[in-house]
Amino acid sequence: MQEIRCSTCGAPIKFSPGEIVATCAYCGFTQVIETGKAFIFEHSLIVNEYKPDQVDDLIRNWMRSGFLKPGDMARTSKILEKTLLYLPFWLVPITATTSYKGVFERLTPPVVKEGKIEKKYNWLILARKATDFPTREYDVPLEGKVPYDFKKIEGFAKVLNSEIEKEEALGRAQQQIEESHRFLIKQDVDRVIEMKTEFDAGDAVYLHAPAWLIVYEYKGGRYNIWLDGATGTIIKGDIPAATFGLI
Ligand SMILES: [Zn+2]
């Protein structure tokens, strides 16, 4: 951990190597670590709506529902860790237009087809380099978005700083959108001959959103659950394999 002084209130701001943007826990001021200058982009927050004991209830309910789960899961699992994280994201408003040409081979003779996909996105990029957070499975609840306010953040929560610059986030968004369009094109043609995507991106928003990371134990195994702190829904949860016939 390294430390800089908040240029607004003078409090120490701790950060780890690789972090680029840091937010002061005392006054909420967000700055670029390298320059100490104010972060000039829009910084938003989605607020956590659940207390730790309510999270327990949500987890037990989830364990009780769904036929894939072992029947004694809710009763015998032990919740070992419960951490509220505010994860940093870049939200990139972007329109992507892909023109393509390909061969539809399911007909004899095969036919050459051309097409176009145009879509408007608010593409979400997690601003951390290494994490197992399932971003693609996360439907960010944007209706709860407010301007960043450190007073709304629980004292026990961990606020993670950004390790990825805005430009890099835009690059990643473009790459991921292109992959997703390629997948869509493959529904229409069997072989892609040509594909070109043009992007029109607006200003990215820096956003902190709440996610609970829960670690639980079931019959000696450790499993993770990611829970959306704004909506209380399970983003992704590990389910132990049912051990049928073993007593
Ligand atoms: Zn400060």
In tens digits, the chain (247 residues) has pLDDT values of: 788 888 888 898 888 888 888 888 888 888 888 777 777 778 999 999 999 999 999 999 999 988 788 889 999 999 999 999 999 999 999 999 999 999 999 888 999 999 999 999 999 999 998 778 999 899 899 989 999 999 999 999 999 999 998 999 999 999 999 999 999 999 999 999 999 999 999 999 999 999 999 999 999 999 999 999 999 999 999 999 866 544 4
* Token digits of residue 159: 């606020």
pLDDT of residue 247: 44
Q: How far apart are CA 214 and CA 79, in angstroms?
A: 7
- Work out the end-to-end distance of the chain between its first and last CA atoms, rounded to an integer number of angstroms: 48
CA of 26 to the centre of ligand 1 (A): 5
pLDDT of residue 18: 84
pLDDT of residue 244: 55
Three-class SS state of 167: helix
Element of type H or E holding 206: strand 205-218
* Token digits of residue 201: 């991106």
CA of 156 to the centre of ligand 1 (A): 18
CA of 173 to the centre of ligand 1 (A): 31
pLDDT of residue 242: 65
CA of 149 to the centre of ligand 1 (A): 12
CA of 13 to the centre of ligand 1 (A): 8
Q: How far apart are CA 101 and CA 196, in angstroms?
A: 9
pLDDT of residue 243: 60
CA of 101 to the centre of ligand 1 (A): 54
Q: Are strands 221-228 and 43-46 parallel, antiparallel or unpaired?
A: unpaired
Whole-model pTM: value is 0.84
Contacts 24+ apart (CB under 8 A), 29-36: 30/148, 30/206, 31/6, 31/7, 33/4, 36/4, 36/7
| Count helices and strands in the chain by DSSP H and E runs | 3, 13
CA of 27 to the centre of ligand 1 (A): 4
Name the DSSP letter for residue 150: G
